[in-house]
A and B are shown apart, each in its own frame.
Chain A
Amino acid sequence: MEQKKVEEMLINMGPQHPSTHGVFRVLIESDGETVARTESHIGYLHRCFEKIAENMTYLQIHPYTDRLDYLAAMLMNFGYAVAIEKLLDIQVPERASYIRVIVAELQRVASHLVAVGTYGLDVGAITPFLYTFRDREKVLKFFERVCGQRLNYNYIRIGGVAYDMPQEMAADISDFVVYMRPKIKELNDLLTYNGIFIRRTANIGVIPPEMAVQYGCSGPVLRGSGVKRDLRRDTPYSIYNRFDFDIPVGKGEVGHVGDCWDRYIVRMREMEESLKIVEQAVKSLPAGDYIDAKAKKPLRPKGEVYHAVESARGELGFHVIANGKNVPYRLKVRSPSFSNICILDAISPGHLLADLVAIIGSLDIVMGEVDR
């Protein structure tokens, strides 16, 4: 009898697939529903940001940083501004620093809301997504008031912020913090501690702490594996050392340390911590200038700098080499999503197809940042 040839089915997931969170493509070798091997393909959203930056003045680069992680554009602005300030040794005015921290932490809440909501969507719960977007809308309203934009803000500038925050906004932000806390509890009741949700995410896509460090994971993915590393605390930049906040880590409450649920819960708890920071910052918001006068002149820095900030997805670093001209010689972005997505091929084999979706969702990638 003729020998029958058995081979695994090759499935192409993406670049247009509902749960690859953008134009990410995974080539899956599947044995029935089981994933035998995956191969990630990126580059569908490549925009040559780093090359473009070599032809742009330092201020002109700013709007491009918005497009890196478009769900946390404030934090992208923040990272770039802090790096250039370090290069030029600019002192940011006190008020500007506080405004930066407020908008950055609000942005972190908004970004995690999207992450959590779409994660619910990935495992089939549609309603939490609408709830998170309802609350994110409130944050976007604040950003609209402060700079007129809702997605790509270009608000945090080198030396400060682009516009002063309206006086009456501080009280509204305090109200938002009060409003938001019960909503997080509501989300916990609806999704986090739902039996089906726990069964879908516990013990799935476990990343051991050593592995997470090896692959250069950062942010909630690293902290989900139980590694307590947060740049806001470890290498304090801006004025983060003035605030009191905790760094939540995954403890393996429902399964192994570093599973999808741990990464998810880290985001939920980080939102509460961010609200804590916002509350403190709003309370002690000083009066004064909102941008440093030095930064308003044409910038011609010289030297080399690397500075990383804690974005919503992890360590966002800008490496700038400046040679005294008005444009940088080279600008390199260390994007957290890129490092985080690298681990996918290592942890996905052996899981079911549905789990692969849950794993990609829990890594919370933004393709704008992966491809740059």
Chain B
Amino acid sequence: MGFPCLLLEIDPSLGFIKRIIAWTAIEEILPFKQNGWLLYLFLALVAAVLLLVIMCVFGLFAVWLERKVSAYMQCRLGPMEVGRYQGCLQTIADALKLAAKEDFIPKAADMPIFILAPILAFSGILLAFLVIPFDRYWVPADLNVGLFYFASMFGIEAFGIFMAGWASNNKWALFGAMRLVAQLISYEIPLGLCLLTIVAITGSLSVQDVCLAQSHGVLSWYIFRNPFMWILFLIFFTATLAECKRAPFDLPEAESELVAGFHTEYSGMRFAMFFLAEYAAMYVVSCMCAILFFGGWSTGISLIDRADTPLAIILRILALNLKALSLVFVQMWLRWTLPRIRLDQVMYCCLKVLLPISMFCFLAATVWEFLFRGHFFRTILG
């Protein structure tokens, strides 16, 4: 959405890092006790690497899960050999294989753009992870423009993929990139409207504030806030499917039409980066979906949500991940069930179906909010 937020103010009290400092008493161990900013930089680097690791591990896990889910749906076994249990190390073996492959760039490709494209696509998704609160206290960066930041960082992936399609100097890749740009730009509007509704209800752009507002029991989750939220949830989910290029919106890489779409000319590690970016995108949008509608890290029991014990924190982190993983599973389920829709139908679905409905829901939800102030049951029952 729009420009990447270059002007955002990073909240100096990075809760995540503060927490690490407090818990580990790391100030005492490390030699730069006096240099506050050096410690800050060190811990920020640790946090960034941690995020990258989480994302990569999830990517590897998601690829394995996708293969097992699809196998289960198609009366197959899927990977069974590598690793003791159900071929669980198969994707690691595959990743190693991809890493060991020759770094191949087509002669006629636009080399700098060709090299930059996967990095940009990957980093856009990685940056979007920055604002996901994993717990009441554990958010990598609690930005005061979090939701806006999320949407803009997520949009960066489109640049990467368009660059990939253009630089490959391949007509199929170009087709894939064109389709992707048309699709992404269109679907960002209903997606943005969903975010806007949430912002209007919460009164804040901070993702953590959205979570905190939903941490008063199950009924405080936004999905139960008003009847339009269910529709908005479905719209958000559909739009994120399109944004992640997941079936039935997988036109940019439609195998039977465009060979492999935008990554036709990519191989080895660069291809792996696109692949990883796709699976990480699935996870980050599912996290976002869980945060916006299902309370994020909220377990649904306000006692646990408020507690500050390690057990409660673990439960909350698990809650968010379980919600996100269930949504990821639904994404996979849809992919292995539905045929792919056509380009004009993608546009029709967005501009003539999702957009008017999401606009209506935005208006209706805000009016509802104005009337009941989030206390529908209390207002009705007196």
- Note all chain B residues with C-beta closer than 8 A to A122: 256
Contact between chains at B256 and A18 (CB < 8 Å)? yes
Shortest distance between the CB of A126 and any CB in chain B (Å):
6
Flag A14-36 by CB within 8 Å of B: 1 or 0 each: 00011100000000000001000
Q: Is the pair B259, A17 in contact by a Cβ cutoff of 8 Å? A: yes
Residues of B within 8 A of A353 (CB): 175, 257
Min CB distance B191 to A, Å, is: 21
Q: If the complex has contacts A18-B256, A18-B259, A130-B76, are A124 and B171 also in contact, measured as CB distance less than 8 A?
A: no
> A190-205: which residues lie under 8 A (CB-CB) from chain B?
190-191, 194, 196-197, 199-200
**A127 lies within 8 A of B74 (CB):** yes
Closest B residue to A197 by beta carbon equals B339
For B345, the chain A residues whose CB sits under 8 A away are 199
> Residues 338-373 of chain B: 1 if any A CB is under 8 Å from the residue's CB, otherwise 0?
111111110000000000000000000000000000
A169 at the interface (CB under 8 A from B): no
Question: In the assembly, what is the distance between CA of A360 and CA of B342, in Å?
Answer: 16
| A134 partner residues in chain B, CB cutoff 8 A | 75
Nearest chain B CB to A76 CB, angstrom units: 27
The reply to whether B339 and A123 form a contact with Cβ atoms under 8 Å apart is yes
The answer on a CB contact under 8 Å between A125 and B74 is: no
Known: A126-B336, A196-B248. A33 touches B255 (CB 8 A): no
Checking B76, B250, B256, B342 against A121 with a beta-carbon cut-off of 8 angstroms, the contacting residue is B256
| Contacting residues, chain A, for B340 (C-beta < 8 A) | 123-125, 196, 200, 354
- Residues of A contacting B339 in the complex (Cβ-Cβ under 8 angstroms): 120, 123-125, 191, 194, 196-197, 200
Using A17-B259, A121-B256 as known contacts, say yes or no to A130 and B341 having CB atoms under 8 A apart. Answer: no
Q: Say yes or no: is A254 at the interface (Cβ < 8 Å to chain B).
A: no
Chain A nearest Cβ from B258, distance in angstroms: 8
* Cβ-defined partner of A200 (8 Å) among B250, B255, B341: B341
Query: Are the C-beta atoms of A200 and B336 separated by less than 8 Å?
Result: no
Contact A125 B338 (CB under 8 A): yes
* CB of B254 within 8 Å of the partner chain: yes
Tell me which residues across on chain A come within 8 A of B247, comparing CB atoms: 124
Q: Are B75 and A131 in contact (CB under 8 A)?
A: yes
**Which residue from B70, B73, B343 sits with its C-beta under 8 Å from A354?**
B343
Closest to A9 in B: B171
**A131–chain B nearest beta-carbon distance, Å:** 7
State whether the Cβ of B326 lies closer than 8 Å to any Cβ in chain A: no
A241 to chain B, nearest CB (A): 39
Cα distance, A299 to B344, chains bound together (Å):
60
In the bound complex, do residue B256 and residue A127 qualify as a contact, i.e. CB atoms below 8 Å apart?
no
Question: CA–CA, A130 to B345, complex, Å?
Answer: 26
- Is A357 an interface position by the 8 A CB rule? yes
Q: Which of B74, B171, B338 has the most CB of A within 10 A?
A: B338
Give the distance in Å from the alpha carbon of A361 to the alpha carbon of B361 in the complex.
Answer: 41
Whether A130 contacts B342 by the Cβ 8 Å rule is no
Q: Is B86 an interface residue (CB 8 A)?
A: no
CA distance A126 to B335 in the complex (A): 9
B302 within 8 A of A: no
Q: Mark B11-41, 1 if CB is under 8 A from A, else 0.
A: 0000000000000000000000000000000
Interface pair A354/B75, CB less than 8 Å apart: no
How close is B358's CB to chain A, nearest CB, in angstroms?
21
What is the CA–CA distance of A241 and B257 in the complex, to the nearest angstrom?
A: 43
Q: A211 at the A/B interface (Cβ < 8 Å)? A: no
Question: For residue A125, which residues in chain B have a CB less than 8 angstroms away from its CB?
Answer: 337-340
Q: Measured between C-beta atoms, what is the minimum distance from B81 to chain A in Å?
A: 20
Q: Which residue of A lies closest to B256 (CB)?
A: A19
A56 at the interface (CB under 8 A from B): no
Determine whether A11 belongs to the interface, using a CB cutoff of 8 Å to chain B: yes
Ordered by A's residue number, 11 sampled pairs between the chains whose C-beta atoms are within 8 Å are: A17-B259, A18-B256, A124-B341, A126-B70, A127-B73, A127-B337, A130-B74, A130-B76, A131-B74, A199-B345, A354-B342
Please name 19 further chain A to chain B contacts, defined as beta carbons within 8 Å, in addition to the given A18-B255, A19-B257, A125-B337, sorted by A numbering: A124-B248, A124-B338, A124-B339, A124-B340, A125-B338, A130-B74, A130-B75, A190-B337, A191-B339, A194-B338, A194-B339, A196-B339, A197-B339, A200-B339, A200-B342, A352-B343, A352-B344, A354-B251, A354-B342
B residues near A (Cβ < 8 Å) are: 70, 73-76, 171-172, 175, 179, 247-248, 250-251, 254-257, 259, 336-345
